[in-house]
Structure 1
């Protein structure tokens, strides 16, 4: 198995859950895996759409993966869903594959877009209702920002790989304006954070009268904010924001960067006491 495939498996399982891509338990061929497709909206039913049998040739990613067949379908879904998902995912792989580049993450994203188009429902990136609460706050004087009390950040351990470093900050928030204020304060008062390559953010907030607000920002790291928001949805976290800062080390990480972003966020959530202690001290510094 190539190092590129190992990194891709790690990234997918970190982003979408630890059972997303696993060796097939019923196939003697070790190149066959079971890919469980993530739901469009992980915070509501139904559970994952279907699972597929995927074969990775020994020369992958120089050649594309082979999408062999369906593996199973959620029994609560309409008949024919598995066949539909198989066809859509094959189309997605064909659309995104480039020789010598891993493609499963991009294929899953493309599949979700295709599925969203035919079901007339978009993947959740923001469930905000039109409200003054969701409007961008007016600019504030620099001295006012710097005089404000430091937000109650809880920091993750730093994760470093190939000289790129990822660090998450977690803070409780009760309103969108508070979340934006915390981010403004961080960027205005911490020069090292302000000069970082990316500051990826996500938050989920319960408002009054059953309203809720969730949003994210890639800050130039395409799809990273959506992955952070997806992680918070899977973990059912509310009234909290996360900022993952990345300092680029000069070497591309490929899909592995999404795993590192989520690893930093998970560690921060654990240290903030929002999730169980499992996996707390998994941070490792590499490349130094």
Structure 2
């Protein structure tokens, strides 16, 4: 029982860190919590109660509030959560539940027209001056990589040179102007900017719901010794869990667009992989 209390506390701390204000404590005494999601125009709330037996022998009790979903869509979500409870018996499961709901809602969109509907062509974007966003610089060219498809999930990398933190924000805003990218399941990114005055790096990353993905992208930039570059990887979820394979595709999509944009040569990436081994 003490082990359950420790695991619950660790899980709650992690969820609060990941989801921020979307994660709420409803009743601390009764171990009641909720998380609100906004996916594809849908507002969804999951309510949880953590019994003393969780996670060792019992899953959390939950309720789903999703007024905008159809009854059959709600039933699919409930079935998926119950299945995850069985598969992960004895383990903490709330994060997997939340991400499963997010992925299923994304899958409910009418996008089943083949993978040609995914991916952005570089010709779709051009360099423009961001005067409307009060930036005093020209937006760098954004390179869009080839798509990677696995079990209906699609991954695509995007990269651009950046020299100021403001450019990172402007490039992300430009990407999100495309509805396909804005409505994707995840848009994780990382950047490194070398500051000549201090001989140090300004760097950061974002998971966008795919835990550890942003950190892995930043690590890739570090081991490749990348300077003054932003890399974004977009994922459109296809309805089938990929497990650890998703991180391999994220990494490959990032490396491919970095090579395509001339930020790193293929021989350099191969050399870094050999050193790492």
Normalising to structure 1: TM-score of the pair? 0.45
Larger fraction in helix: 2
Larger fraction in strand: 2
- Structure scoring higher RCO (CA < 8 A, sep ≥ 6) equals 1
Normalising to structure 2: TM-score of the pair? 0.47
